[in-house]
Amino acid sequence: MNADEMAPEVRSILAAARDRGGGDGRVSVDPRSLADAFASAERDGRVPLIAEVKPTSPTTDGERRGDPVDLAREMVAGGAVALSVLTEPDHFGGSVETLERVRAVIDVPVLRKDFVLDEAALDVAEADVVLLIARFLGDDLEPMLAAARERGFQVLVETHTRAELERAVAAGAEFIGVNNRDLAELEVDLDTFETVAPAAPESVTLIAESGIHTIDDVRRMRTAGADALLVGSAIMDGDVEQNTHRLTHARD
Ligand SMILES: O=P(O)(O)OC[C@@H](O)[C@@H](O)c1c[nH]c2ccccc12
């Protein structure tokens, strides 16, 4: 995807990410297992769900107030087996400090959600899982995957097309996300997961990301092969614990 095919908001996000720089020194993480978290949800009949602490976004009106640590606690109380915390400050209202506070008081795996474009950006924060977006990394995906693993991170590789998913598989990704939101118009279409998922081999753990709001959406993504789901807005909006509970108990 050329820069001019991306939504202006996305171009602005990437420019900010390039300016932000990296951490000093190299992080070394002893991660909480994401695979174990998903397996434990399956064992007790819950939908494996990563709930996202997302104060705002380029496609959200306004900002969610309230202490992110309290929101994170409500998500876990509602049955989320893992959390995603935005650390992007300029467009999503996130912060590294929030991630660190959440991870310090909550014992489920925590995903760092950001636009990590180079190795130094991996050293900004410890997390159990780090997101790498195939679209933005191009040929750097494989070396970045290796760099993240050397530091102890588990990696979620985000894709949006079959070609990207195939690249993620070839690079050795174990956890692959399919983002239902496109980066050109920022529009959500749940067909995306349904179209891309069949290209994944059995060995990969597939996560459906974005645009999941209702129990029917959960079932639809599970039927299409989602091993787990990543949900932000539908949980952040309203009663966080109740929202999470509704979606994690959407078994048929
Ligand atoms: O709020 P939603 O539609 O449930 O989406 C959550 C998550 O998938 C979305 O925030 C997201 C997917 N990929 C990203 C990359 C960076 C920042 C954010 C994201």
**Residue 25 placed within a domain:** no
Question: Six-digit token pair at 191?
Answer: 């067909």
CA distance 166 to 119: 23
- The question of whether 113 is a catalytic residue gets the answer yes
pTM above 0.80, yes or no: yes
Say how many Å lie between the CA of residue 233 and the centre of ligand 1. 8
pLDDT value of residue 57: 85
**Residue 142 placed within a domain:** yes
Query: Ligand 1 atom closest to Cα of 133?
Result: 15
**Residue 97 placed within a domain:** yes
Instruction: Quote the domain boundaries for residue 55.
Output: 3-20+33-248
Number of domains in the chain: 1
CATH code for the domain in which residue 170 is found: 3.20.20.70
**Residue 205 placed within a domain:** yes
pLDDT value of residue 24: 85
**Residue 26 placed within a domain:** no
- The question of whether 142 is a catalytic residue gets the answer no
- Find the catalytic residue in 57, 84, 179, 233: 179
Cβ-Cβ contacts under 8 Å for 145 (sequence gap 6 or more) = 132, 155, 157, 171, 172, 173
Cβ-Cβ contacts under 8 Å for 154 (sequence gap 6 or more) = 31, 33, 34, 109, 128, 129, 130, 174, 175
Window from 20-24, 49-53, 131-135, 241-245 with minimum mean pLDDT:
20-24
CB of 217 sitting under 6 A from ligand 1: no
Query: Ligand 1 atom closest to Cα of 54?
Result: 10
Nearest CA to ligand 1 atom 11: 210
**Residue 146 placed within a domain:** yes
Instruction: Indicate the burial class of 67 (C-beta count within 10 angstroms; 0-12, 13-18, 19 or more).
Output: exposed
Instruction: Give the model's confidence band at 12: pLDDT under 50 very low, under 70 low, under 90 confident, else very high.
Output: very high
Q: Are 47 and 218 in contact (CB under 8 A)?
A: yes
**Residue 27 placed within a domain:** no
**Residue 116 placed within a domain:** yes
How are the residues of the chain apportioned to helix, strand and coil, as percentages rounded to the nearest 5?
A: 45, 15, 40
Say how many Å lie between the CA of residue 251 and the centre of ligand 1. 23
pLDDT value of residue 252: 52
- 142-183: per-residue pLDDT in tens? 999 999 999 999 999 999 999 999 999 999 999 999 999 998
- Residue 194, pLDDT > 90, answer yes
- Residue 241, pLDDT > 90, answer yes
Residue position matching structure tokens 């974005």: 210
The share of the chain scoring above pLDDT 90, in percent, equals: 87
Quick one: DSSP state of residue 181? B
Question: Six-digit token pair at 1?
Answer: 């995807």
Q: Are 70 and 101 in contact (CB under 8 A)?
A: no
- Find the catalytic residue in 113, 126, 180, 233: 113
